[in-house]
Amino acid sequence: MKDFIKQQEEQLKSIITECGYEVNEVSLVVSSRKDLGQYQYNGAMSLAKAYHKNPNEIANEIINKMQEYKDYTNLNVAGPGFINISFTDEIITNYFNALQENKKVDIDIPSKKIVIDYGGPNVAKTLHVGHLRSANIGEAIKRLAKYMNYDVISDVHLGDWGRPLGLVILELKNIHPEWVYFDESFKGEYPDTCPITNEYLEKLYPIASNKAKEDEEYLNEARIITTKLQQKEKGYYDLWKQIVKISTDEIKRLYDILNISFDLWEGESDADQYVPEVIEYLKSKGLVQESNGALIMDVSNLEDNSPMPPLLLVKSNGSVSYETTDLATIWERMKKFNPEEIWYVVDNRQALHFEQVFRAAYKSGIVPNNVKLEFFGFGTMNGKDGKPFKTRDGGVMTLNTLINLVKEETLKNLNESIKGEEREEISTIIGTGTLKYADLLPYRATDYIFDIEKFSDLNGKTGVYLLYSTLRMKSLLEKAKANNIKIDKISIINNDSDRSIYLKLLEETSVLYKSLNNKSLNEIAEYLYQLTNTYNSFYSSTRVITEENTDLRESWLVLTEIVYETNKTLLEILGIYLPNKI
């Protein structure tokens, strides 16, 4: 069914037309002065300009016409011509009763086909806090877009094809030279398991990477292996497959804990098969130049204020760059899915990389101008010192450590009666919910400070507060059901304490649109808190179950049900699990 505010805006538009004025769009604004009105219409001023009239006069004409409808109370004009509008309890209750039957407000934007690229974990490397942000924000954007009826394909885009793999393989070769993978004369079948753990792999990468920084020869060897791997040379390629498998298992385990999932588990390596075609195509368009043995493409344009470096297509040693893999991935996505937009949820620090790749895609015609390539960058999670969040001893904060940290903090406040396996399970759900909420609360592109005490405050703007409150609504509803109390219809709004909850609920649709527009979940996270808070102030001063007026009691219970359902839906969009108990 149509959103209440949308209905009201349309009605007001026809009222204004009836008054003899032409308007394109009428928008109602939530009023910050609830004593004057619930909503405001501020269009009288621009009408006054267009019609050379006094805004106050126009506002009064509109109000007079509005009086003929039975939907408003307390209409008044403030200042030069602001119209304050309040809705009658009757139309509000009618709307929510109808909504209870229809369940969802209509989404009135056209559906679009989107590929969304987020997560971006790297094989054989430990996931860190930056990967949390990409996965968490990306997952929520995907869920929101789906909720808004977009046709969305999510792709994790594994980092599985670059130098880090060459380094890890080299390190393995040095430690285990006897492995068949390194025996050039080996002719048989390679084993289908490899006797190493993910933990071991993650230890190897930093060792190899440090060696490469100090030892030119070692670095060269790693480069050669990377190139051989990219040429799918047997042995290396077979070992690589094992590494990818071991690593992906661990990545999936972490994503599962975080309620994050993907339609596609493609990696940089999957785009590799398209690289020759892409290079050929670019050459045919005359866009490729040679520079010191490397192939590059100029992506600068005349309007650039600062120099735009050329895009490196193929390095002088023959290996393929990160840019080319992304370009080939776009090529693949266009061919396979023909999306209307491709979204990237990646660290702000990769903005230039995507600028180059996008320019190359448009300039070459790989992507036509009507397809949108969009980079949705995110800020850094910092420590209290304002620098990227580190462990206590200054090391990289891994995702695993981070999850354990929030879990431990959660355990401190967790009810003692929850024990054993359940305690473990619930603390994981609440801990990750707390972490995810804190990470979605600031605007996507801004940096924020990780503050575990603040994030886990039971009475603060936190995930745990929301989960706790939502479960309390659930148990109130269960109690009513256990007592066979009917929860069917709203018939009474008692006073401002419950009325303000209805008014908050009316804001939901516009919040969803705003969030989708900004590709940031901060609006939804904030709204969820406000709605919950409004409900909690009502709840703390109201004895619902024991209310003697049964109509009022039923109205309150339906209201509780609506808030509960709204919270559940929004938590689900944020990708936050609701535990069974706290």
Single out the segment in contact with ligand ARG by CB under 6 A; choices: 116-124, 136-144, 217-225, 424-432.
116-124
Residue 8 CA to residue 15 CA, distance in Å, equals 10
In angstroms, give the least distance from the CB of 215 to ligand ARG.
Answer: 24
Instruction: Please count the other Cβ atoms lying within 10 Å of the Cβ belonging to residue 480.
Output: 20
The window from 56-64, 117-125, 254-262, 388-396 that contacts ligand ARG (CB under 6 A) reads 117-125
- The answer to whether residue 267 forms part of the interface with ligand ARG (CB under 6 A) is no
Q: Which of 120, 433 has the CB closer to ligand ARG?
A: 120
User: Considering the complex, what minimum distance in angstroms separates the CB of residue 122 from ligand ARG?
Assistant: 5
Interface residue with ligand ARG among 61, 117, 139, 250 (CB under 6 A) is: 117
Buried b (16+ CB within 10 A) or exposed e, 107-132: beeeeeebbbbbbbbbbbbbbbbbbb
326 binds ligand ARG (CB under 6 A): yes
From 295, 346, 570, 571, residue interacting with ligand ARG (rule: CB under 6 A): 346
Distance CA 38, CA 35 (A): 8
Nearest distance, CB of residue 260 and ligand ARG, angstroms: 15
Which one, 135 or 172, has the nearer CB to ligand ARG?
135
Angle at 79 between CA 76 and CA 80, to 5 degrees: 105
Least separation in angstroms between CB 559 and ligand ARG: 44
Give 226 or 567: the residue with its C-beta nearer to ligand ARG.
226
Tokens of 167: 């380094």
* Phi, psi dihedral angles at 47 (to 5 degrees): -60, -40
Other C-beta atoms within 10 Å of 188: how many? 7
Which tokens go with 189? 């079948």
**Among 268, 233, 237, which residue's Cα sits nearest to residue 161?**
268
Q: Is residue 212 a contact residue for ligand ARG (CB under 6 A)?
A: no
Residue number, 159 or 442, with CB nearest to ligand ARG: 159
| CB-nearer residue toward ligand ARG: 60 or 350 | 350
| 122 contacts ligand ARG (rule: CB under 6 A) | yes
Nearer to ligand ARG, 124 or 406 (CB): 124
Between 244 and 501, CB nearer to ligand ARG: 244
Closest CB to ligand ARG: residue number: 120
Which of 13, 142, 143, 157 forms a contact with ligand ARG (CB under 6 A)? 157
464, exposed or middle or buried, with CB in 10 Å at 0-12, 13-18, 19+?
buried
Nearest distance from residue 346's CB to ligand ARG, in Å?
Answer: 4
Q: How far is the CB of 305 from ligand ARG (least distance, A)?
A: 25
Strands 72-78 and 82-87: antiparallel
159 is a contact residue toward ligand ARG (CB under 6 A) = yes
Q: Is 227 among the residues that bind ligand ARG (CB under 6 A)?
A: no
Which 3 state secondary structure label does DSSP give 209?
Answer: helix
State whether the Cα torsion 63-64-65-68 is positive or negative: positive
197: which 2 tokens? Answer: 């753990």
To ligand ARG, the closest distance from the beta carbon of 270 in angstroms equals 12
- Pairwise CA distance, residues 265 & 476, whole Å: 42
Tell me which residue of 481, 490, 571 sits closest to 532, measured CA to CA: 571
When asked if residue 120 is in the footprint of ligand ARG (CB under 6 A), the reply is: yes
Which CB, 120 or 235, lies closer to ligand ARG?
120
Number of residues that bind ligand ARG (CB under 6 A): 8
339 is a site residue for ligand ARG (CB under 6 A): no
Is 136 near ligand ARG (CB under 6 A)? Answer: no
What is the token pair recorded at 512? 């969803």
* CB of 156 or CB of 429, closer to ligand ARG: 156
Burial 316-334 (b: 16+ CB within 10 A, else e): eebbbbbbbbbbbbbbbbb
Q: Does 333 bind ligand ARG (CB under 6 A)?
A: no
Cα→Cα distances 147→3, 104, 440, 521, 523, Å? 15, 10, 17, 13, 15
Burial class (CB in 10 A: 0-12, 13-18, 19+), 495: exposed
Q: Does 271 sit near ligand ARG (CB under 6 A)?
A: no
Q: Which of 275, 414 has the CB closer to ligand ARG?
A: 275
**Closest distance of CB 444 from ligand ARG, Å:** 15
DSSP symbol at 576: -
Mutual angle of helices 89-102 and 496-506, in 10-degree steps: 50
Pick 72 or 118: Cβ nearer ligand ARG: 118
Closest to ligand ARG by CB, 157 vs 436, is 157
User: What's phi and psi for 380, nearest 5 deg?
Assistant: -95, 145
Binding site for ligand ARG (CB under 6 A): 117, 120, 122, 157, 159, 326, 344, 346
